[in-house]
Amino acid sequence: MTSKKVTIEDVAKQAGVGIATVSRALNNSTGISQATRARVLQIIDEMGFTPNTSAQSLKIRQTRQIALAVPDIRNAIIPDIAWAVEQAAKQHGYRVVQINTLGNARLELETLRDIKKLHVDGLVMMPLAYPKSLESLINRAGIPISVINYSKKLSSDLKADIVGLAKQEGKLVMEHLIQIGRTRIAYAGAPKDKIEERYLAYEQSVGQVDASLVYFGEDFTFETGRQAANYFYHLKHMPDAIYAVNDMVAIGIVNRFKELGVRVPEDIAIVGIDNNLWTTITTPQISSVSIMGNEVGRLAAELLLKRIQSPDRTEYERVEFEPRLIVRESSVASHHYSHINKSSDV
């Protein structure tokens, strides 16, 4: 004998509330007290009620899904951001569909052009290539969008909430390397047009760029770092410091230098950007600028969900976090760096 399926009417009757109140509890809507919401959700669990999400989506025109477009899932900072977005979404009863754009301009634009085909209620996007038509496509997307933006100056007319950094993270790297007395500073990065502002921070800090001290690899990976280390090792005059475009490149450099017998930081100081977990478990531990991945991801998702629930809001938010340099063994001897971290919170 088949048991009778529990309906929303059954839940409402058991809770002593109206059907609309049960719906508000399910959709985390306003107009219901926390106590009532908790009681209704408890009864839903006890009765084993499963809402008809397809019918619910048709009725309220929402899918309870959002998309997250990231540039490269191989970059160790991306899982931190994705996890924060997913946790924020779960708290509001949403699922996350992840898209990997590879930091490719064509794929970033395709994501925006095809976003409605994914049947999502909104998009958290972390562009890397920033193609020229990106902003116009965001403005015409037809769904709420939240942008995680590192270093790029975006139009004040952009119809999206933006979360990013208040300071140029590359500038913090260069200030540190100059402060510790390094004079022959190299740059190791991905193609110049990817996170261009990080290279510009290097260019502005050194003034006259020595082209032999700049290595542009193919991407932001560990292997790019190893290739950069090989390149700098075979120079007639090696640099005494390297500013790596991100932590994965920095880790690759340190790994290869260890094989080549180059001492870090005694011979060459290394500093990266992201402050991902791997910087703390390498030997030596790697100095890095924290770009607040968890906090940025969480807030970007929260702003998106807020806009989905209040679609008539016309003002778009601009939120900036302060990046912070974390000094470790790769740039300063271990008996010095704990003091620096305590005395300079940059």
**Strand 318-321 relative to strand 161-165, pairing:** parallel
77-91 and 293-309 helices cross at what angle (nearest 10)? 30
What's the farthest any 2 CA atoms get from each other in the chain? Answer: 84
pTM: 0.76
3-state SS string over the chain?
A: CCCCCCCHHHHHHHHCCCHHHHHHHHHCCCCCCHHHHHHHHHHHHHHCCCCCHHHHHHHHCCCCEEEEEECCCCCCHHHHHHHHHHHHHHHCCCEEEEEECCCCHHHHHHHHHCHHHHCCCCEEECCCCCCCCHHHHHHCCCCCEEEEECCCCCCCCCCCEEEEECCCHHHHHHHHHHHCCCCCEEEEECCCCCCHHHHHHHHHHHCCCCHHHEEECCCCCHHHHHHHHHHHHCCCCCCCEEEECCHHHHHHHHHHHHHHCCCCCCCCEEEEEECCHHHHCCCCCCEEEECCHHHHHHHHHHHHHHHHHCCCCCCCCEEEECCEEECCCCCCCHHHHHHHHHHCCC
**Residues in the chain, total:** 346
Please give the pLDDT value at position 280.
94
pLDDT in tens, the chain (346 residues): 445 678 888 888 999 988 878 877 877 666 788 888 888 888 988 888 876 654 454 444 678 999 999 998 888 899 999 999 999 999 999 999 999 998 899 999 999 999 988 889 999 999 988 898 999 999 999 899 999 998 788 888 999 999 999 889 999 999 999 999 999 999 999 887 778 889 999 999 998 999 999 999 988 899 999 999 999 999 999 999 999 999 999 999 999 999 999 999 999 999 999 999 999 999 999 999 999 999 999 999 999 999 998 877 789 999 999 999 999 999 997 555 444 454 444 3
Please give the pLDDT value at position 54.
47
Please give the pLDDT value at position 190.
86
Please give the pLDDT value at position 41.
87
Please give the pLDDT value at position 334.
56
Domains of the chain: 8-51 (1.10.260.40), 65-166+292-323 (3.40.50.2300), 169-291+325-343 (3.40.50.2300)
